[in-house]
Amino acid sequence: LFFIEITLERHDDEILEQFSEALAYMPEVVEAHLVTGDYDYLLKVAVKNAEHYERFLRKNLYSMKGVRHTRSIFALRPLKLENKSDLIMIE
């Protein structure tokens, strides 16, 4: 698994919508989160190996309009995996 932190060039509605829509056509992206902090999005990407990951980056993110910066993190192994889909979000 790879995690990708993404910074967009701008934060206008057009760029945000285009980016969100593009994610729907990337089967390698298993999770995508809009986040706070130094980056705008955090993606969880499942690919076969580093070669496939490089191909994914070049084909999808490096050529995408509005993406200013990416930072990749390779997961060595999971320490805890839980599916908490029944969590209640406090508003």
The whole-angstrom separation of Cα 13 and Cα 3 is 24
User: Is there a domain that residue 89 lies in?
Assistant: no
Q: What local confidence, expressed as pLDDT, does residue 12 receive?
A: 87
Helix (H) or strand (E) holding 41: strand 41-45
User: Is there a domain that residue 84 lies in?
Assistant: no
Q: What local confidence, expressed as pLDDT, does residue 11 receive?
A: 87
To the question of pTM greater than 0.75 for the whole model, the response is yes
Looking up residue 61, the CATH number of its domain turns out to be 3.30.70.920
User: Is there a domain that residue 36 lies in?
Assistant: yes
User: Is there a domain that residue 22 lies in?
Assistant: yes
Q: How many domains does the chain have?
A: 1
The domain in which residue 14 lies consists of 2-74
pLDDT of 87 > 80? The answer is: no
Q: How confident is the model at residue 82 (pLDDT cuts 50, 70, 90)?
A: confident
